[in-house]
Structure 1
């Protein structure tokens, strides 16, 4: 399957997730978003963190062959899908999962202020009393 096909399917899954989210069917939205992530991760390499020793995955190695325009669109959409998934977990009050999704989005875009703010706000909700 080509990168273009992977991207097309991922965007379809994202749209399906958005429709489920609007219909307040959060479980189905999360399922669709997870499927979108699976397709997008085949094209977008996992960001390496400051020498944490994380080895490149097969997806990361194959991402080098992805044309720059497709890689940019896939990365943008991967960040958006993690944001959408965080919104789903917010509705279900699964704060640790919100934090995880925000962190994953920030891995791809460390300067994204909205995720950082959401992460700080959610961290206070997830902290044990």
Structure 2
């Protein structure tokens, strides 16, 4: 989907999220510039950027497809963070089937979400 197809509100929120993300990483690097190990540990939080963009896609005004895509992004970011942290014994090696489940869930929810979220007027014409 190119930028001309998105709602102006989504573009503004995306720009704000990117800006806040860059500011946060810049400040974190600046504060930790003398501690290489601390800077390396910052990368463990990158999945939260995916979660933020997923939440942005789920906020109104939204259509069904965008909502399900946002939900998939949130779940993927959460999976990435959980496996990187090793919570519940999950690793990349033993939890990758969860991604197949998320993909299938997205395929099932797409048609259902179209019923729950009416299309915007400018998209119908």
TM category (shorter chain) comes to 0.3 to 0.5
Q: Which has the larger radius of gyration?
A: 2
Structure with greater helix share of residues: 2
TM-score computed with the length of structure 1 as normaliser: 0.36
Structure with the bigger RCO (C-alpha within 8 Å, sep 6+) is 2
TM-score computed with the length of structure 2 as normaliser: 0.37
